[in-house]
């Protein structure tokens, strides 16, 4: 699409810009490459204009910003977000939608129950007594084990495993390779006269996932020893996350990639755990606690509040921790000054 | 089950409790929800009685503990563990057991050898020359590659991959999505006059897994460059663990979720690595070393002993590290006091 | 193979060694077990001779090294690397090679395009409009989703998922369970009078992987929100790595196991990230930056250079950070000495 066509589409103007400039894609200010259209809605990102490589940037009509340093055009419109949303479908393909139907290579146990208007892709395996709710989409290579239950409109991507007796609410989306309901890590170790004996603790519970949960790729959510590991409704879990047995999360939590939560830790509502955070087991984490990336939490945290570092501390403590090298350097300087003053005092006292 | 029925089942008494209270599940003291039966065997957890939401707690006949603050009943029995074990089957479903048989959709190469009383689920793929031992259970969607060998009574869950020529001992259990025997990460990088050249180092070895090993979900254990990556018997590995090429673990190790062990590191017997620990390559870790969560180890560790933090240190060092902010604060206070005393001395010296 | 046969094979001599010693495998000096042949090419590893358990070690003809402490033989040859390369095929099995052909259980959509001399293993699923280039090898249980494109000679191991519209260059190798193109982690959270609302941000882009890339097992590379997540040519990615949406890596990067890179971070050429490193989102990491294991990076890094720790710092800063406990101890000693001197001054001043 030429810039001139874009201007017509979104009802904008771009004074002094080449109307024949080619727009070939859409992007964010930071990620944009030549050919991209992007937008600036929030003035706090205005400084990204200096570095963006975008060919055209949608901005507010009345703004007085300098054009992008790399030479892109400023396109003035009434609402940059709205104009961008209008343009996006011209540069992206529509999402792929599955029509209801069951692929002939899917293996569905005769005792399983499959709802209405369901899509089951090639080579899925649905076990005895399993239930697949209405309008679910199971892409290729999904395994739903014995007596597992999927609510309505769940969307499972290839290689997802739902283990025996686990239960998903409505509108649960799970990306490729994620495992719901593998055994928790639980053993009793006895050291006796005949040597060590490691005994597996049976993991007899399941996983219960609330409505509107989304889980990324290659994550693992272990089944409970007894009862259920629970993921609260509207909670979003990223790739490669580990959730131990008997963990319970509240609603509206966000759990970013590679986080690990050890067994029996309970999260309140709206808890946010950033990338690679680790939580020890048997903790109580209060509502709206936020734990920043790579932090390690070994004790209960009352919410709301932010925690940083390993072991995790408040921002005030973190600042102290990070300033320590400088604080110590200061101490050394002050100590040296005192040393000199004492030496002077000593000399004077010896030779008054 | 009503409380009165439970009392009859386990031969206990619950003075003053409502005999009609409904018990609907079993749980631990910490995880219990209303409706749950739980137990207190070890007095060190007695303080959890204050916060447990359980409807009934099995305790020792002769204990003088206060009833749960939330109103649950104390059920007095001769042995709380035993009584709990008696009650559990009434509240949990029995584990699902596979009857021997091979699903018609499993693809088994004619040159593979399958033992007696084996279960092979839907859509498994067993490659040329592979061997599946007697009484193995391969759930749906398991791949056993060319010339791989499974000992007797292995249990592989869906989406497990056993790569070519890897060998499992007896009674090895592997949960969904785990990969045994992918190539190790090994390249030679040459920077020459014509630019960089990155050459793959062929990974010609395999993985050998000892008897009675259990591995969680979505873990990765790389094949050796030469010889074997070795997992010792009775070692237990949790979800999302990375084990590099040519790693060797002793027997009875415990490797918790998201641990990473780089290539050619060797663990002794009974080594315990807690969640998210990282071990550099080419290390020797002695018997019964324990590395606490999120620690990073860059040098050999003689066992037995505990190590903490990144870089990992002994407990004594860790305490010193963690007390540093306070130690420095103390130093600042002492320094200020000295400064005042010196100033006083100086004043006096000037004006004797 | 007997030692005498090995000597004949590689044209070496081993004065005083038992010619009947049995060589059963090959290994590195560090990993070698009794029965192994190994080699010492780089003199900097000479001290490993003291601890190697190898039965025979190839060394340079003219070296004057002591024989291995554990009793192995020193085998003197003109070029140890070359001799080792000659011996290796006698102790390792050749790699398994797939002959072109499509397994009858593979499900290939009629609208997919499959190139010449392709191998497609059992139970693969190739979606509508997908393209598989000439001479590709897709082992069992590979899923290539709608409109995805694989260049020539790609090799995908079992359980790999290539999601819709993602594109692989030539000679891309991906190990088991890795997911290319799952949705990025992107939500808009609105807290309004009717409560919280979490809205998914559609992930409309794809992943583009350059030529000669290799990716390990159970990794996850998310599709872009718009445009493409890009992996540069010759980049090598290890197991269990997380690459967020809109990340771009340059050519010749190395990304070791369990690294996490958050969304929209861009890496230059030849960037090296060691195990368990975490990179925040929206960063610019310059050419030839190296980030050491477990480090956490929250700001842009100009290359080339090495960074350590969490938060990541230069080596100079790291040394300062690690020496802090000792520096503080020194300060305490010096402070105590000053305190004594001040006390002496005070006493003298009181009693001149």
- Reported ipTM: the value is 0.94
Topology of the domain covering C159-307: UDP N-Acetylglucosamine Acyltransferase; domain 1 (2.160.10)
- Pairing, β C187-192 against β C195-200: antiparallel
pLDDT of residue B171: 98
Does residue B12 carry a pLDDT above 90? yes
Residue A100 near residue A136, CB atoms below 8 Å:
no
How high does pLDDT run on average in chain C?
Answer: 95
Distance CA A93, CA B266 (A): 50
pLDDT for residue C66: 86
Sequence-ordered list of residues with C-beta below 8 angstroms from that of C340, at least 6 positions apart, any chain: none
**Which of B160, B220, B293 to substitute to test the interface with A, most A CBs within 10 Å?**
B293
Determine the pLDDT at residue B145.
Answer: 98
Report CA-CA distances (Å) from C33 to B57, B305, C90: 54, 26, 17
Q: What is the pTM of this model?
A: 0.96
Neighbours of chain C (3+ CB pairs under 8 A): A, B
CA distance A148 to B158: 14
The side-by-side arrangement of strands in the sheet containing A25-26 is: A25-26, A36-39, A56-60, A73-77
Cβ-Cβ contacts under 8 Å for C27 (sequence gap 6 or more): B226, B227, C33, C36, C37, C38, C54
Would you place residue C349 in the very low, low, confident or very high pLDDT band (cuts 50, 70, 90)?
confident
DSSP one-letter string for A13-48: B-TT--TTPBP-EE--TTT--TTEEEE--SGGGGGG
Domain A101-307 matching CATH 3.30.1360.120: the answer reads no
- The predicted pLDDT at position C351 comes to 81
Is residue B28 within 8 A of residue B7, CB to CB? The reply is: no
In this model, does residue B352 exceed pLDDT 80? no
Say how far apart CA C140 and CA C123 lie, in whole Å: 6
Give dist(CA C317, CA A57) in Å, integer.
40
Residue B41: band (very low, low, confident or very high) from pLDDT cuts 50, 70, 90: confident
Say how far apart CA B213 and CA B191 lie, in whole Å: 43
Predicted confidence band of residue A44 (pLDDT cuts 50, 70, 90): confident
Distance from the B341 Cα atom to the nearest Cα atom in chain A, whole angstroms: 10
**Banded pLDDT at C25 (limits 50, 70, 90):** very high
Is the CATH code 3.90.470.10 the one for domain C3-91? no
Residues of B in contact with C103 (CB under 8 A): 107
Greatest distance between any 2 Cα atoms in chain C? 107
Preferred mutation among C81, C218, C309, C326 to probe B, highest tally of B CBs within 10 A: C218
C45 chain-B contacts, CB cut-off 8 A: none
Number of Cβ within a 10 Å radius of residue B105: 18
Instruction: Give the neighbours of chain B: at least 3 Cβ pairs within 8 Å.
Output: A, C
pLDDT at C234: 97
Query: In the CATH hierarchy, which fold is given to the domain comprising A3-90?
Result: 3.40.1390
How close, in Å, is residue C284 to chain B by CA atoms?
22
Question: What six digits make up the tokens of B62?
Answer: 């002769």
Could you give the angle at which helices B80-91 and B3-10 cross, rounded to 10 degrees?
130
Residue C65, pLDDT score: 87
Residue B250's pLDDT is 97
Q: Is the pLDDT of residue B73 over 80?
A: yes
- CB-neighbour burial class of residue A11 (10 A; exposed 0-12, middle 13-18, buried 19+): exposed
A240/B240 touch (CB, cutoff 8 Å), yes or no: yes
Least CB-CB distance to A25: which of C227, C331, C338? C227
The residue behind tokens 């791989």 is B148
The catalytic residue among B155, B245, B282, B323 is B245
Asked if A177 lies within 8 A of C328 by C-beta distance, the reply is: no
Considering B155-164, B188-197, C196-205, the range whose residues carry the highest mean pLDDT is: B155-164
| Closest listed residue to residue C155, CA positions, set C163, C140, C248 | C140
Beta bridge partners of C229: C207
What tokens were used for B10?
Answer: 């386990």
Assess whether pLDDT exceeds 80 at residue C212: yes
Give me the mean pLDDT over the C10-33 stretch.
Answer: 94
Please name the member of A31, A88, A105 whose beta carbon is closest to the beta carbon of C246. Answer: A31
pLDDT tens digits for range A99-154: 999 999 999 999 999 999 999 999 999 999 999 999 999 999 999 999 999 999 99
Tell me which of B239, B254, B347 to substitute to probe the interface with A (most A C-beta atoms closer than 10 Å): B239
Cis preceding-peptide flag for B304 (omega within 30 of 0): yes
Give domain limits for chain A: 3-90, 101-307, 323-352
Contact between B130 and B148 (Cβ < 8 Å): yes
| DSSP per residue, B104-154 | TT-EE-TT-EE-TT-EE-TT-EE-TT-EE-TT-EE-TT-EE-TT-EE-TT-
Q: Quick check: A350 pLDDT over 90?
A: no
Per-residue confidence (pLDDT) for residue C230, from 0 to 100: 98
Q: What is the mean pLDDT of residues B190-210?
A: 92
Q: Residue B66 — pLDDT band, cuts 50, 70, 90?
A: confident
pLDDT value at B279 more than 80: yes
């Amino acid at each position: 699409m030429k810039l001139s066509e874009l201007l017509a589409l979104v009802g904008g103007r771009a004074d002094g810009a080449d109307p024949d400039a080619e727009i070939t894609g859409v992007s964010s200010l930071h990620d944009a490459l030549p050919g991209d259209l992007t937008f600036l809605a929030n003035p706090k990102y205005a400084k990204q204009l200096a570095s963006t490589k975008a060919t055209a940037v949608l901005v507010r009509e009345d703004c007085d910003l300098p054009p992008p340093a790399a030479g892109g055009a400023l396109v003035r419109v009434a609402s940059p977000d709205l104009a961008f949303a209008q343009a996006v479908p011209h540069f992206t393909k529509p999402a792929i939608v599955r029509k209801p139907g069951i692929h002939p290579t899917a293996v569905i146990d005769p005792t399983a129950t499959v709802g209405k208007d369901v899509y089951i892709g090639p080579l899925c395996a649905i076990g005895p007594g399993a239930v697949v709710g209405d309008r679910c989409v199971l892409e290729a290579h999904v395994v739903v084990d014995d007596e597992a239950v999927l609510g309505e409109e769940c969307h499972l991507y290839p290689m997802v495993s739902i283990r025996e007796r686990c239960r998903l609410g409505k509108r649960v989306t799970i990306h490729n390779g994620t495992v719901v309901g593998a055994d928790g890590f639980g053993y009793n170790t006895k050291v006796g006269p005949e040597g060590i004996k490691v005994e597996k603790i049976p993991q007899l519970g399941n996983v219960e996932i609330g409505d509107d949960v989304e889980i990324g790729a290659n994550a693992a959510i272990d089944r409970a020893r007894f009862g259920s590991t629970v993921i609260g409704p509207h909670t979003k879990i990223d790739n490669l996350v580990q959730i131990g047995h008997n963990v319970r999360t509240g609603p509206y939590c966000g759990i970013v990639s590679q986080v690990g939560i050890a067994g029996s830790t309970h999260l309140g509502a709206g808890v946010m755990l950033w990338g690679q955070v680790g939580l020890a087991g048997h903790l109580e984490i209060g509502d709206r606690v936020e734990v920043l990336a790579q932090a390690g939490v070994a004790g209960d945290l009352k919410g709301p509040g932010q925690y940083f570092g390993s072991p995790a501390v408040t921002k005030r403590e973190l600042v102290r921790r990070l300033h320590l090298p400088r604080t110590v350097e200061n101490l050394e300087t002050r100590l040296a000054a005192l040393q000199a003053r004492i030496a002077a005092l000593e000399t004077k006292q010896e030779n008054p």
